[in-house]
C-alpha cells in the first residue's frame, strides 16, 4: 500500500517505521524535522497524503486533528482510508469522520493502548470506530502495528472505548499506590502484600503487570526511576477527556472526577510532570492523612 503518515512523535515514528519495514511505501510528515528509518520524509501534510491508499494520523489533541483534517481531506484520493490513531474527544472524532465521509473517504478513529514500548514492538491494541468497510480496509495495517484490533462500533466508538479504559486505569493506579503507601505505614512488607494481592481479589493490571513499587513484580517504570512508559500528563489528558465526555452525556463518574483532580495536582502543582503515571506511589509515601 501507499500510506501517508502524519505525526511522527514518540508513538507515530515507530508505528510508521513498522509499516515501512513491512514493505509498504510510507510518506511521513511532522511539523518538527523528523527522520524515520525507511519512511519517505515530505515537506507538507498534503504531500504525504497525495495518492495514498490509507492515511494515518497520530496527533496531540482534537483541535490539531480538526486542523490537519481540514488540510488533508481535500488532498486525499476518493475512496481512501483515513485512520486517526490520536486520543481525542469523541465530538472531534465524530466531526472529522463526518467530513471524511462527505468527501468519499473511509474514516476510522483508532486510538491505541500499549505506550511507546508497544508502538516500537508492534504490539499495540487498537480500539476502532467506523463502518465495517472502513475497519476492514485498515485492519491489515493494524496487524502490522499491533497485536489486537477491536471494532467497537460506529465513528467515535474507538475514542469512547479508550476514554473508558483509561479512566479505569487512572482510578486503579491511584488505588494501588494508596494501598502500598498504607501497607508501608502498617509495617507490611511490600513483597508480601504483592504476593497476597496479586493472587486474590485485589488483582489488577496496575498491580500485576505494572506494579508501582520498585523491585516488586515484573519490570516496570518504577524500576527505572519512574521514567515514563505512560507519562502522568498523558494520563491527566485522558482523564480530562473522560470527564468532558461524562459531562456531555450526563454520566455520574465521581471516582473519575476525583482521579482527574489528583492527577491535575500531581502534574501541575507538584513534581509529576515528566514522570510515569505510577509515580503517584512516592507522592503518597511522602504525605500524611491531613496533608
| Catalytically annotated residues | 162
Residue 245 has φ and ψ, to the nearest 5°, of -65, -40
Taking the C-alpha atoms of 165, 168, 174 and 177 in order, what is their torsion angle to the nearest 10 degrees? -80
C-alpha to C-alpha distance for 291 and 288, rounded to whole angstroms: 5
C-alpha to C-alpha distance for 40 and 3, rounded to whole angstroms: 10
C-alpha cell at 55: 492515511
Length of the chain: 291
What angle is formed at CA 165 by the lines to CA 224 and CA 95, rounded to 5 degrees? 120
Residue 63 has φ and ψ, to the nearest 5°, of -65, -40
Give yes or no for a contact between 15 and 119, defined as CB atoms under 8 angstroms apart: yes
Q: How far apart are the first and last CA of the chain?
A: 57
* Residue 132: count of CB within 10 angstroms of its CB: 9
Give yes or no for a contact between 205 and 197, defined as CB atoms under 8 angstroms apart: no
Containing H/E element for 64? helix 62-72
244 Cβ contact list (under 8 Å, min separation 6): 89
Strands 2-6 and 124-129: unpaired
Amino acid at each position: 500500500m501507499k500510506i501517508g503518515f502524519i505525526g511522527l512523535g514518540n508513538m507515530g515514528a515507530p508505528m510508521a517505521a513498522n509499516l515501512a519495514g513491512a514493505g509498504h511505501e510510507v510518506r511521513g510528515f511532522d511539523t518538527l524535522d523528523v527522520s524515520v528509518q525507511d519512511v519517505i520524509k515530505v515537506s507538507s501534510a498534503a504531500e504525504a497524503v497525495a495518492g495514498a491508499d490509507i492515511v494515518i494520523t497520530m496527533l496531540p489533541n482534537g483541535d490539531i486533528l480538526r486542523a490537519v483534517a481540514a488540510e488533508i481531506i481535500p488532498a486525499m484520493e476518493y475512496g481512501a482510508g483515513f485512520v486517526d490513531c490520536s486520543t481525542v474527544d469523541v465530538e472531534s472524532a465524530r466531526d472529522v469522520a463526518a467530513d471524511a465521509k462527505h468527501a468519499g473517504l473511509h474514516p476510522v478513529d483508532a486510538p491505541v493502548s500499549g505506550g511507546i514500548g508497544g508502538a516500537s514492538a508492534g504490539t499495540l491494541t487498537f480500539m476502532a470506530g467506523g463502518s465495517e468497510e472502513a475497519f476492514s480496509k485498515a485492519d491489515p495495517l493494524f496487524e502490522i502495528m499491533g497485536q489486537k484490533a477491536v471494532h467497537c462500533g460506529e465513528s467515535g466508538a474507538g475514542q469512547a472505548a479508550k476514554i473508558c479504559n483509561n479512566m479505569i486505569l487512572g482510578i486503579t493506579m491511584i488505588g494501588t499506590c494508596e494501598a502500598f503507601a498504607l501497607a508501608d505505614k502498617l509495617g507490611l512488607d511490600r513483597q508480601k502484600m504483592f504476593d497476597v494481592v496479586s493472587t486474590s481479589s485485589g488483582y489488577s493490571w496496575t498491580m500485576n503487570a505494572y506494579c508501582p513499587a520498585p523491585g516488586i513484580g515484573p519490570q516496570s517504570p518504577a524500576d527505572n526511576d519512574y521514567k515514563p512508559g505512560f507519562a502522568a500528563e498523558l494520563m491527566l489528558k485522558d482523564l480530562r477527556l473522560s470527564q468532558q465526555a461524562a459531562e456531555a452525556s450526563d454520566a455520574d463518574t465521581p471516582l473519575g472526577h476525583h482521579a482527574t483532580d489528583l492527577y491535575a495536582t500531581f502534574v501541575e502543582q507538584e513534581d509529576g510532570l515528566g514522570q510515569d503515571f505510577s509515580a503517584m506511589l512516592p507522592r503518597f509515601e511522602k504525605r500524611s492523612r491531613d496533608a
